[in-house]
Structure 1
Amino acid sequence: MNPSHAISPTVPVATRQRYLLVLLLFLHTVNTYMDRVCISAAKSSMQNDIAGLTDQMMGYVFGIFAVGYALFQIPAGWYSDRAGPRRALTIVVIIWSIFTALTGAVFTAISLLVVRFLFGVGEAGAYPGATRALYRWLPARERGIGQGIFHSGARIGAALSLVIMPAVISLIGWRWTFVANGLVGIVWGAIWWFWYRDTPEEHPWTNEQEADLIARGIHEQEVPNVELPYIQIVTSANVLLAMFQYSASNITFFISITWLRPYIEERWGAEAANLSAIPLLVGAVALWFSGFLVTKLYQMGMPVLSRRIPAMLGYALGAIGLILCTQTTSMESVWPLILCFSLALFGVEMTLSPSWAFCMDIGGDRSGAVSGAMNMVGNLGAALSAVVFPYFVHHVTLPYIATETGTANSFFVFAALMNVLAVIAWTMMNPQRILRRLTDREMQFRMIGFLALILMVVFSLVYTKLIMG
């Protein structure tokens, strides 16, 4: 037989179970925001049925979730790293789903406070646990697009909930709506436990070729400083800068789900307020685009710039969009504001994929705890935006831009400045930076500083969400 005509053996093609993982985690984030938005949609119905649930008490109910959520970010991330995402995510999803369902069973304002605090504690593990799962299942070059798709579920879930939740409540009532949402989470948790494994090698549906592809992809970007203590990593300049810039993005993002709708309604009317969902959908597109850009730049051999460029470009677009917003407040149509704020939100949403990929780069097997620390401080930016927005509207003026109170122009300038500072922060962030081991005395100072940071975040959240809220 002619050797040239010999049949070459078929090389098995790598399976693609990691893509199913990203899909499951996308649905996971949709679920988290469906559960969060449900209580906002049910507010009026709940106040009619629950004794003592005044507007002030409802503010405490909203705020107590944020406190529990932020307080348990690092413990939940640490647990995900230690126990593995299969067990950790199954547990936390079932916990918050139970308390979502129990929200429909409360009859007093105090019991509602307790239930929503425990709901926040459960949801604290959602993002750190998912980040840890993505680290073990995605090659370094695919982390950007994986994080982009994963986080876009939150924006799509929030936008859809603005339409779906009121309709469901009118159909089955607010109590059964919470039960239905809880059941969705429990079903997801069961599927996760059945399908997911902590490493691709353990998965029965992942072949050797895909497991090898993932392993090589993880090791092609070596995690620096793996032998250093967690406290040194999380108090390094890299992580502190990551915390700051993530707070900056949240200052802009959380306006889209808190004050944007009532602000538009007050200035342009109730019909125009329905357009407030558009920036959220634009933000979801930004997450996909940024994830693709992060992935493409990494594949071109730029591991550091693949994080920096999308983040810096995003914050620059965010600042430009916010400054343009200041030129729209006197216009008769709301569309210029919607378009300019959509540009701003597109920009800041571009920063999520590189931010969370950055945590995976420097955290490695401690990605859950490192990303939890960033997310904890990021919540401070969210709380800050909710509190300072009305203050800026009613009290702060600026020459030429906000010459009188009653517009959000001064806040837009403040948020734009934070975005500019975030651009500067990214110029100093490098996931490949090698750290020297600290002395015991230096570690003690770092520990004290880290505990002080946690206490500051918790105090700030309690003050802004419960005392001022």
Structure 2
Amino acid sequence: MKPTRARFIVLAGLCMAAALAYLTRNAVGTAESTIRDDLGLTKEQSGWLSSAFFWSYALCQIPAAALSLRLGARRALPLFAVLWSLATALFGMGGFAAMVVSRALMGVAQAGLVPVAIAVMARWFPRAGQGLASGAFGGFMSAGSIVGAPLTAWLIIVCGWRPMFLWYALPGIVWAVWFARWYRNDPAEHASVNEAEAQLIAADSKVPAKVHSKPPAVPWRLLITSPAMWCICVQQAFRSAGYIFFGSWFTTYLQEARGVELITSGLLTALPLVGDLTGSLLGGAVSDAVLRKTGSQRLARQGLAAIALFICACLVFSAWFVSHALTAVLIISLGMFCAAVGNPCVSTVMMHVGGSHVATISGVMNMCGNLGAAAFPVFVPWLLANAGGWDAVLICFTALYAGSSLFWLLMKTKPNMFDGAPDAEDHCAKA
């Protein structure tokens, strides 16, 4: 019997949720200069407006993951989508204070998306297919930003930035209704999954499909004292801080440092995100192929990520010496393509080490990543005023990716290391 392919419909649903989430969260970056001029804000206020999302997003990762364990993904993800859609609408209707609150509420609502999606992929995909699934999910995060950057710039001109955010609130609600009706927490219970697909999925799955009213206790002491977990979290903080440059200040950088007009800056902002999308899609397939050929988790996941991020750092640094705007953006975009080749490795490592705690472990990792993402938009105005302007920002951006590469090299993991198995020990390699 040939396996059905319902798992790919699940993946398509997760990818659509990722695209919608990133479209709504990153629209503020493209509209930043317009909103700042319209409301008479300072750049420091704009920085806080951008970062308000990430503080609440980071701090609510673990609570959102815990809630999803009780509700199950079928109820939790639609709830999150409805809430972030309402927050998007609120952003378009208020003054500065209400907009900061709405950004924070959006962060709360979107906090559960990544950890729950990783748990869903671990439950619905065999290990040798998790890289491809993770790559697609990560790539469609950038797809939302790719569509959103030029679309936001166009809508600002056509209807203004406030009505634009009201329109952006609608697709998430439609998605929530569809997902709640179609998805099942246990693949074996879905009418579209035949026995062959159920067996393929369950062959090496370590994630329980059933939703329990009392989730397993999280081994916090083991997690907090794990050097490998520290490596995972620090690299994520560095990567996320670098990536959020494109969702916060990159359009303004193009306008002020490169003399690019609004519409053109929106289009150019999409280029690094195209690199991120294509790199994520390719990286997942490459990582799975290396795993199948060598059987080495370390080479297929940690090794690939470290190499890809180091190449990215080198390319972004080289853009510092290029004066032509389009050429510089193309070099940065190539760097983002390389970095994105390692993106799926993050989710696959979470599935590898998380076991029954994969949603919580992913929440911790994503929390740390978004603390970095929250800090960088606020740090940029300080760099502009005190450290040499946009050149300093680009150098800092380079250093973040180089640092992330280093921590991937230091990281060593074991399967299900937080489930209490006898060999569940982890350590960092000696520098």
**TM superposition score normalised by structure 1:** 0.78
Match of 1:204 in 2: 191
Match of 2:234 in 1: 244
Q: Is the contact between residue 81 and residue 132 of structure 1 (CA under 8 Å) also seen in structure 2?
A: no
Partner SS, residue 3 of structure 2: coil
Match of 2:326 in 1: 335
Partner AA of 1:424 in structure 2: L
Match of 2:307 in 1: 313
1:245-284 mapped onto 2 (5 Å cutoff)? 245-271=235-261, 273=265, 274-284=267-277
Give the superposed CA RMSD. 3.0
CA 1:233–1:363: 2 relative to 1, 3 Å: farther
Q: Which of 289, 296, 299 lines up with 2:292 in the alignment? A: 299
Distance 1:345 1:293 in 2: 16
Match of 1:356 in 2: 347
| 1:24-55 Cα deviation digits (max 9, x unpaired) | 111111100221234455567767998x9777
Q: CA deviation at 1:418?
A: 4.0
| 1:254-274 Cα deviation digits (max 9, x unpaired) | 223333332232233124634
- The alignment status of 1:95 with 2:83, answered yes or no, reads yes
Question: How many residues matched?
Answer: 408
Q: Is the contact between residue 30 and residue 247 of structure 2 (CA under 8 Å) also seen in structure 1?
A: no
Match of 2:425 in 1: none
Distance 1:395 1:113 in 2: 26
Max Rg structure: 1
Partner SS, residue 239 of structure 2: helix
- The alignment status of 1:22 with 2:5, answered yes or no, reads no
| 1:156-184 Cα deviation digits (max 9, x unpaired) | 21121112124345555545433332221
Q: Which of 179, 186, 194 lines up with 2:181 in the alignment? A: 194
Q: Is the contact between residue 279 and residue 342 of structure 1 (CA under 8 Å) also seen in structure 2?
A: yes
Q: CA deviation at 1:385?
A: 3.1
Q: Is the contact between residue 244 and residue 377 of structure 1 (CA under 8 Å) also seen in structure 2?
A: yes
Structure 1, unpaired ranges of 5+: 1-11, 221-225, 397-404, 439-469
Q: Is the contact between residue 81 and residue 365 of structure 1 (CA under 8 Å) also seen in structure 2?
A: no
Identity over aligned residues, as a percent? Answer: 28
- The alignment status of 1:31 with 2:20, answered yes or no, reads yes
Match of 1:158 in 2: 145
Partner AA of 1:297 in structure 2: V
CA 1:41–1:313: 2 relative to 1, 3 Å: closer
Match of 2:171 in 1: 184
Q: Which of 394, 406, 409 lines up with 1:424 in the alignment? A: 406
Match of 2:427 in 1: none
Distance 1:256 1:175 in 2: 21
Match of 2:56 in 1: 68
Q: Is the contact between residue 135 and residue 364 of structure 1 (CA under 8 Å) also seen in structure 2?
A: no
Structure 2, unpaired ranges of 5+: 208-214, 422-431
Partner SS, residue 358 of structure 2: helix
| 1:171-225 Cα deviation digits (max 9, x unpaired) | 55545433332221111011111111111111111111101100004259xxxxx
CA 1:385–1:197: 2 relative to 1, 3 Å: same
Distance 2:122 2:66 in 1: 14
Distance 1:37 1:159 in 2: 10
| 1:437-464 Cα deviation digits (max 9, x unpaired) | 79xxxxxxxxxxxxxxxxxxxxxxxxxx
Distance 2:67 2:318 in 1: 44
Q: Which of 207, 216, 232 lines up with 2:203 in the alignment? A: 216
Partner AA of 2:56 in structure 1: G
* The 10-residue stretch of structure 1 (427-436 or 247-256) with the greater mean CA deviation from structure 2: 427-436
Q: Is the contact between residue 290 and residue 353 of structure 1 (CA under 8 Å) also seen in structure 2?
A: yes
Match of 2:336 in 1: 345
Partner SS, residue 218 of structure 1: coil
**TM superposition score normalised by structure 2:** 0.85
Q: Is the contact between residue 101 and residue 178 of structure 1 (CA under 8 Å) also seen in structure 2?
A: yes
Q: Is the contact between residue 311 and residue 426 of structure 1 (CA under 8 Å) also seen in structure 2?
A: yes
Q: CA deviation at 1:296?
A: 0.8
Distance 2:35 2:216 in 1: 51
Match of 1:456 in 2: none
